[in-house]
Amino acid sequence: MSATLIAIRLLGQYTVAVAGQPCAPLPTERSRLLLAYLALHPTPQPRNHLIGLLWPDLPEKQARRRLTQELWRINHELSKVGLPTTLVAQGDAIHFADGVEVVCDAYQFQALLERSRVEHSSLGSSLAELTAFPRGELLPGYFDDWVLVARERLFQAYSAALLQLLSRCKQLGDWETATAVVEALRQHDPLSEVWIAESLRIGLNLGRPEATLQQYEQFVATLQEALGMAPSPELAVLAQQLAAQRSQPLTPLSFVDPAYLPPLLGREAERSLLLRALQRTQESGGQFCLLEGEAGVGKSRLIESVIADARWRGLLIGSGKALEIQRSQAYQPLLQALRELLSPLRAQQIRVLVDPLWLAQAARVLPVLAAWLPDLPPPPLLDPEPDRVRTLEALTRLFLALAELSPTVLVVDDLQWADNATLDLLIYLARRVSQAPLLVLLSYRAAEARTDAAIWFALQEIDRSSNVQRIELAGISAEASAELVRTLLQLDRPAPIFEQRIFTQTRGNPFFILETLRTLYQEGNLTRTAEGHWQTPWDAATVDYHEAAIPVQVDALIRRRLAQLAPEERQLLDIAAVLGVPFDLATLAHFLPDSKAHLLAAATLVQRRFLQETPTAYQFEHDQIRQTVYAQIEPAQRRNAHRRAGEVLAHLQPDAHTLLAHHFEQAGATGRAFHHHWKAGEVAQQTGAYRLARTHYAKAVEWLDRLPVTSATRVELLMQWERLLGYLGERNLQRETLAQLAQTPGFDARQQRLVQLRQALAEGDAGDFEAALALTAASFALAQQMNDTPGVVETLTAWGQLLHHRGDAAGAEAKLRQAVQLATDDMRLQGEAWSTLADILPARNAYAEAAHAAAMALACFEQIGDIAGAARANVTLAVVAMEQGDVAGAAERYLSAQTLAEQCGYRLLEARIAANLANALCVLGRIGEALRQYAHALAIGQALGDLRLESLITVNYASTYITFVGPDDAVAAQVRRALAWGEAAGDDLCVGQAWNILAMDAAFQGDLIKARALLDRSAAAFAHVDYAYIKAQALRAQAQLCQMEGAHAEALALIRQALAASQQIGATQLTTEMRAIEGEILLDCGQIAAALDAVNNAAAQVTPDVFQSYLLHYRCCKVWRAASEHAAAQKALRLALQEFDAILGTLSPEQRQQSRTGIPAHRALLADA
């Protein structure tokens, strides 16, 4: 059965309603009071308690009878409106009957006040809930004692709730809500001084005296008229302060400025200990200092002071701060400190002191070191645990070397949040710190550190391992606390009671002292008189300032400052925050028509240090202010402001697509943001800023499915996006985009042809040449059907490129010559056709034609501003120059191409250029630079996941490494991976080169049988390659192996084949090298005269560009010595040694040693010396 609702109203008037129907008043006053009391106290009430309240003067027996009568009257009267029984007696208690639901406004209001006391909802909602409740006097017209007590209690509870809400507003700096709460207090108790005192304090805090003083004058008049009283002296003093502020505002104090750095007081003993540690570090060696204390006690401030002292003494400083959120990031605070300690010059200095092995190991966790020392050799492979220890050793050596350069201070703040790797390194370093002038200063919170097992273990290990200075920071003394208060407030005399209260509450914690004073000041409880004296509301009556309760949290000072702004000032700041860029008055006029008013507002904001003026515009004093302002703007208002900003800027700067895209995106205007992101991407791509273009295109592509775009628009955007991904080498995403394009409806034949062609190129890049060629043929057929000459040219060019990569050089040349003949009207297509033809012609030994084609391509690309195309054309010119013997010219061309590739962010091309540049540097004897370029190219190839690129670079890198440094197991393993790819892809050139390198590695290690087997497999692969330059090199390798085996006749036949091949292609340097090898082999055959002719011919042609020219000189030396031409032999030997030393000089010490001992020809040269 549902309950019957009785609504009893006791506030403002007394009414009763049953089931929504008003009831006639109960017939007697006692019955009305009995029902009211039970409604306010709905639990069962004892009879004795009720008769004591309602009939205190009657004897108990008579009072009980009266109670029974009134119960009957209530039940009888309410039964007339359909309620059979309202109140029942159960034992000795009275309560509402079952089935009766009572709703009493006064009881609900009591519950609301209690809830507001214990719960903290938002300020605005709390105030709205309190003030919206229908109120009035409790039981008006009734004056029983219990009624008066309840009435006063309810009045005071409401006052207390408002005052509690006001206190929260002041703590949070919400002065707007605080003002509304004060108004509620005024309406509630207009003659109380509480509300007007709070109003005066808010006026003082906000610096707005006019309106508040008017309110005060009205209060004084009302108080005099109603009670014939004057305001209290304390209230009058507040009013006087406000009046003084109106006539002469006081200058804000420095301690309320968030940038204010408080003085270091009460830390003389601790600072003295640290200064002595600094001195010992400089004089006799390093040590650790452990600085322990609670949060806010002044550890960081003391460290700042010591850092300043150390810097004044000329020590290096490296500071790191452990962060709780980064506890899983290895070495985080120490790497932060290293980045502060290191510089390019310092890295070079350290390289003198630290072996490259350790620098290379350290560079693995400190990338900046690798950037400054890019030719560091990779450290040998180790198992995980020794590798971890090696890292500890490397970083320890790095710190000690820095200290050896100059005495150093290493600071780690908040060690209680350090990662385990940092702790391990500090323990490791503690055992060695005495070896160098290194002071390691660790600070931590005592409670956290001592309860964290890993931290506490590390601290104990450090304490055992090192000369440790332990310093425990407690709060500063009462005397120092008092001095700090006087310093901050600029007091000219002590305020002992106030100072003692601050010390008692903060326990001498300097940070808490500062924040306490800021809070009291901001809340208006710490004010200055017109004469500049400080006072509080409690000065006259307080005993110990216990009234000065300190809030747990203090909100950001910027927000408090913002609360003091006038509406027009805040409006201007909101606009500036949304704009996000410097702005001038002309721009502002589009948002705020009243130019004069907002000019004055801007001037005020500059004076208050929210904005600053530049010669051309306004901008925020600090970006943190902009962030705070922006965060406070309501989301709906923010979106509207961004939309308005977009509309204004679209009128003023219609080509500012990036800025417009941002504003319309933030406004939720996705359609307009889509347009501007797309446009911004196009502009960025046109200027070669491919990475920036990617950002904009990615956003536009993301919105495709959300917008009602046409199929044509979708196709156009996706095709541009796919091409950009190709430039950037993002193959997987490129192929996904192409698959998405192929499924897009509404293609015309032209678009279908183009998508098929792009898919073909992507499949070719992925190594699936069968699929690539099939797609190309389909694209070509469509172009022919449409009589689309540009399409035919484009497809032929791609077809030739794919055939070239497939190894069909003749087929590739035929397709490309056909493309060049047709490409006459489109400069881009013409450039691509010329460029691709230039790429494949060297494989046909047509170098002059290749150079011509590349020059034509370069002219086309430069004319249309195609940076990537110009880079590729330069690469081809470099290749041709290289193979025709102009190695220095080739290197210059590669450097130009590399610069262009970096400018356009074309990572795939950048890797190819780096690899080819390395080849040229090898010939020039710049082996160290070459290895760095190879490493750079390999890193890119690996990052791109391009196995073909990685494999081709590997064979060049490995060939150079083993030729100049010597055999290496790790390098050989890389070659075998490249070999596996080459065999899978059917790339005979890659396969032949890989077997050749592995054969050389085996030969240098003395395993000639294995070398022969490997070299035979190389020759079998090269038999399928129509590339004279490579074939000449392969024949040379076979000849030299035969020479090592003692098969001199066979060696001679092979080297003469190599010589003929190099002469056929006009490779002068290669021919010269072959002549010298021929002379050495002839010497082995005993044909001294023929040998002499060969080396004389080689010596006459030798230039610095000849590969391994120092070995050429050594071969000449041996022949001349055998021919008794001793002077020439001695000169050649000196020259060989000089050039060999120059080569070694480009290598690391470890590589130099390996080169001297690991390569047979090098051992022979050094032995002959």
Check pLDDT > 50 for residue 1049: yes
Q: Is the pLDDT of residue 173 over 80?
A: no
Q: What confidence category does residue 402 fall into, taking pLDDT thresholds of 50, 70 and 90?
A: very high
The predicted pLDDT at position 678 comes to 93
Q: Whose CA is closest to 721, among 739, 706, 707?
A: 739
- Residue pair 1115/1132 in contact (Cβ under 8 Å)? The answer is no
Q: What CATH number is given for 268-473 in this structure?
A: 3.40.50.300
Q: Work out whether the CA dihedral 1050, 1051, 1054, 1055 comes out positive or negative.
A: negative
Of 20-34, 244-258, 444-458, 740-754, the least confident: 244-258
pLDDT at 189: 83
User: How confident is the model over 231-256, as pLDDT tens digits?
Assistant: 877 677 677 766 765 555 445 565 65
Residue 585 to residue 590: CA distance in whole angstroms: 9
Of 519-528, 544-553, 675-684, highest mean pLDDT: 675-684
Q: Which residues pair with 1106 in a beta bridge?
A: none
Pairing state between β 408-413 and 438-445: parallel
DSSP H or E run through 4: strand 4-9
Q: What angle do CA 633, 127, 107 make, to 5 degrees?
A: 150
pLDDT at 415 over 90: yes
Confidence of residue 1050 (pLDDT cuts 50, 70, 90): very high
Give the integer Cα–Cα distance in Å for 763 and 517.
70
Residue 635's CB: how many other CB atoms inside 10 A?
8
> Packing angle between helix 1028-1045 and helix 1048-1064, nearest 10 degrees?
160
Number of H helices, E strands in the chain: 56, 16
Cβ burial of 596 (10 Å; 0-12, 13-18, 19+) is exposed
Domain pair 1-168 / 268-473, same fold: no
Confidence of residue 597 (pLDDT cuts 50, 70, 90): confident
Please report the pLDDT score of residue 551 as a whole number: 39
Backbone angles phi, psi at 592, to 5 degrees: -125, 105
Element spanning 7, H or E: strand 4-9
Q: Are strands 316-321 and 408-413 parallel, antiparallel or unpaired?
A: parallel
- Asked if 71 and 87 touch (Cβ cutoff 8 Å), the reply is yes
Both structure tokens of 885: 């013997």
Q: What are phi and psi of 954, to 5 degrees?
A: -60, -45
The pair phi, psi for residue 237, each rounded to 5°, is: -65, -45
247 C-beta neighbours (distance < 10 Å), count: 8
pLDDT bucket at 968, cuts 50 / 70 / 90: very high
Within 13 Å of residue 1066, how many CA atoms lie on the same side as its CB? 10
Give how far the C-alpha of residue 400 lies from the chain's centroid of Cα atoms, to the nearest Å.
30
* Rounded mean pLDDT, 389-412: 91
- Which residue ranges make up each domain of the chain? 1-168, 255-261+478-557, 268-473, 1056-1169
Residue 130, pLDDT > 90, answer no
Is the separation of the CB atoms in 122 and 169 below 8 Å? no
- The kind and range of the H/E element at 305 are helix 299-312
Burial class (CB in 10 A: 0-12, 13-18, 19+), 718: buried
pLDDT value, residue 1089: 93
Token pair of 49, please?
């308690």
Residues in a beta bridge with 17: 7, 22
The pLDDT score that the predictor gives to residue 830 is: 86
925: left (phi over 0), alpha (psi -120 to 50) or beta: left
328 falls in which pLDDT band (50, 70, 90)?
A: low
Between the alpha carbon of residue 512 and those of residues 295, 347, 400, the distances in Å are: 10, 42, 38
For the cut 80, the answer to whether the pLDDT of residue 170 exceeds it is no
- Assess contact for 318 and 341: CB atoms under 8 A: yes
Tokens describing residue 272: 């003295």
Q: What are phi and psi of 238, to 5 degrees?
A: -60, -40
CB neighbour list of residue 716: distance below 8 Å, 6 or more residues apart: none
- pLDDT the model gives residue 907: 59
Q: Which neighbouring-strand residues pair with 613? A: 618
Query: Under the phi-then-psi rule, with left for phi > 0, alpha for psi from -120 to 50, and beta for the rest, what region is 907?
Result: alpha
Which amino acid is located at 558 in the chain? I
Average pLDDT over residues 559-579: 81
Q: What is the mean pLDDT of residues 567-573?
A: 88
pLDDT tier, 978 (very low <50, low <70, confident <90, very high otherwise): very high
CB 905 within 8 A of CB 1090: no
Residue type, 23: C
Nearest in space to 82 (alpha carbons), one of 3, 2, 19, 34: 19
pLDDT of residue 50: 92
Neighbours of 985 (CB within 10 A): 19
The whole-number pLDDT of residue 940 equals 67
- Is 995 within 8 Å of 1018 (Cβ atoms)? yes
How is residue 261 written in tokens? Answer: 């750095």
**pLDDT for 921-954, tens place per residue?**
887 888 989 998 998 888 766 634 467 888 989 9
Could you identify the residue written with the tokens 């991407």? 681
The length of the chain, given as a count of residues = 1169
pLDDT tens sequence across 83-109: 888 899 888 899 999 888 999 999 998
User: Lowest mean pLDDT: which of 636-645, 663-672, 728-737?
Assistant: 728-737
**Residue 1032: its pLDDT value, please?**
86
Confidence at residue 905, expressed as pLDDT on a 0 to 100 scale: 45
What value does the mean pLDDT take over residues 64-80? 90
Residue 690: left if φ>0, alpha if ψ -120 to 50, beta else—which one?
alpha
Q: What percent of the chain has pLDDT over 70?
A: 90
- Beta strand 287-293 with 438-445 is parallel
Virtual CA dihedral for 766, 767, 769, 774, nearest 10 degrees?
A: -20
Provide, rounded to the nearest whole percent, the portion of the chain with pLDDT above 90: 34
Domain range 1-168, CATH architecture: Orthogonal Bundle (1.10)
Could you tell me if 876 and 850 are in contact, meaning their C-beta atoms sit under 8 angstroms apart? yes
- φ, ψ at 9 (rounded to 5°): -105, 125
What is the amino acid identity at position 186? R
Instruction: Give the mean model confidence (pLDDT) for residues 150-179.
Output: 80
Cα–Cα dist 966/1018, whole Å: 20
pLDDT digits (tens, 9 = 90+) for 579-593: 887 888 888 888 887
Residue 544 near residue 496 (C-beta atoms within 8 A):
no
- Determine the Cα–Cα distance for residues 1019 and 1029; give it in Å rounded to an integer: 14
The CA distance from 329 to 977, in Å, is 32
Q: What is the mean pLDDT of the chain?
A: 84
3-state secondary structure of 611: strand
Cβ atoms within 10 Å of 141's Cβ, excluding its own: 9
Per-residue model confidence as pLDDT tens digits over 1058-1116: 999 888 888 888 899 999 999 999 999 999 999 999 999 999 988 876 778 899 999 99
Confidence of residue 547 (pLDDT cuts 50, 70, 90): confident
Residue 90's pLDDT is what? 86
**For residue 788, is pLDDT > 50?**
yes
Looking at residue 246, what is its pLDDT? 59
Residues 6+ apart with CB under 8 A from 521: 253, 256, 527
Dist. CA 129–CA 119, nearest whole Å: 13
Per the CB < 8 A criterion, the answer to whether 526 and 490 are in contact is no
199, two tokens: 């109003």
CB under 8 Å to 983, separation ≥6 — which residues? 991
Range name among 242-256, 880-894, 1007-1021 with the lowest pLDDT average: 242-256
Q: Scan for tokens 């400080």, then name that residue.
A: 534
Give the per-residue pLDDT at 250.
Answer: 46
pLDDT value, residue 555: 33
User: What's the average model confidence in pLDDT over 738-761?
Assistant: 85
Between residues 1027 and 5, the one the model is more confident about = 5
Q: How many CB atoms lie within 10 A of CB 399?
A: 25
Q: How many CB atoms lie within 10 A of CB 211?
A: 12
- Other Cβ atoms less than 10 A from the Cβ of 383: the count is 7
At 215 the pLDDT is 81
Confidence category of residue 204, pLDDT binned at 50, 70, 90: low
Least reliable range by pLDDT among 189-198, 359-368, 377-386, 796-805: 377-386
Token pair belonging to 37: 């009391």
Query: What's the confidence (pLDDT) of residue 623?
Result: 57
For range 680-689, the mean pLDDT:
64
Residue 766: the pLDDT is: 80
Work out the number of other CB atoms within 10 angstroms of the CB of residue 304: 15
- The whole-number pLDDT of residue 188 equals 82
Res 962: pLDDT: 93
Model pLDDT, residue 786? 92
CA distance 269 to 246: 47
pLDDT tens digits, 793-841: 989 988 998 888 888 888 988 999 899 888 877 888 888 888 888 888 8
| Angle formed at CA 492 by CA 486 and CA 494, multiple of 5 degrees | 55
Output the CA angle 457-459-464, nearest 5 degrees: 95
Distance CA 800, CA 661 (A): 41
pLDDT bracket for residue 554 (50, 70, 90) = very low
| Whole-structure pTM value | 0.39
